[in-house]
Chains A and B, each alone.
Chain A
C-alpha cells in the first residue's frame, strides 16, 4: 500500500501505534517509515513523553485534607 504523503499517513498511525492497537502489518509499515524519517521519529517521541507528562501533571495534586475522614464518616454504622 502506497501513500502520497508517507509522513501524513504516519501521523494518522501515531495514536494507534502508541496505544498498541495497530495490526502487525500496520506496525511494520509505521516502523519502516520511522526508521528512515527523523522528522516523524521526533514527533512520535514527543507524543510518547507528552502522555507521561500529562499524567504526571494531573496526578500530583493531593486529596484535600479531611476528605478521607468525611468519607469514612459516611460508612453505615453497624446495627
Chain B
C-alpha cells in the first residue's frame, strides 16, 4: 500500500483526522482540573493521583478514536480513570479488607455528636458544622473504603447522575444508590471519630 502516492482524498482524510485528534486532545486537557480533583479523592496521595491522571491521559490519547464525539468526554475520561484505579486497588488490596462497615448508627449520629459539643441550646446548623475542619473532611473521605468512596466522589463531588456513575464504574444503578447511601454514613462515622480524636 505504500507504493502509490496518496490521493488528494487520502490527504484530506488524514488532515481531517489530525484536526479531530487535536481537538479531542485539547478538550480533554481542558478537563484536567476536574479529572485531577476526582483522582485526588480516589487515590490515597497526591503522587498516586498524579500518576493516575497521567496514565488516564496516556490511555485516552492512545484510544481517542473510541470516543464518540458529542458524548460526555468528562465521563469517558473518568471511566478510564476509575478502571485504572480499580485495577490498582485490586492489586494493592489482595488481603481482605476488614474495615467495619459500621453504619448502624444511622444518619444523625454525627449531628448528635457535634451538637452535644456546642454550648448553646438548639444551635443552628452552621454552628454545628463549624465543629468540623475542612481538613478533617479530606482525611475522613480517604478512610472510606474505595467501593463506597468511588460513588461519593462521582456523585456528591463530581456531580454525576446515578446513571453516569453506574456507567463509569460498570455497576448497576441500584448498587450506585445503595453504596452512596451507605458510603455517606461511613463518611459521617469517620468524621464523628475524628471529632473524638481531637478531644476537647
Residues of A within 8 A of B (CB): 11, 14-15, 21, 38, 42-43, 45-47, 49-51, 53-61, 63-64, 67-68, 70-72, 74-76, 78
Q: A interface, by DSSP: helix, strand, loop or mixed?
A: helix
Contact B125 A59 (CB under 8 A): no
Contact A51 B36 (CB under 8 A): no
Contact A61 B40 (CB under 8 A): yes
Chain B residues contacting A55 (CB-CB under 8 Å) are 156-157
A60 to B125, CA, bound (A): 22
Chain B residues contacting A57 (CB-CB under 8 Å) are 134-135, 137-138
Contact B106 A67 (CB under 8 A): no
A-B contact pairs, 9 of them (CB 8 A): A45-B124, A49-B129, A53-B129, A53-B134, A67-B36, A74-B61, A75-B29, A75-B61, A76-B21
Most buried by B among A38, A45, A46, A47: A46
Interface residues of B in 133-159 (CB under 8 A from A): 134-135, 137-138, 141, 156-157
**Cβ-neighbour of B61 out of A49, A68, A76 (below 8 A):** A76
A68 to B28, CA, bound (A): 11
Contact A47 B111 (CB under 8 A): yes
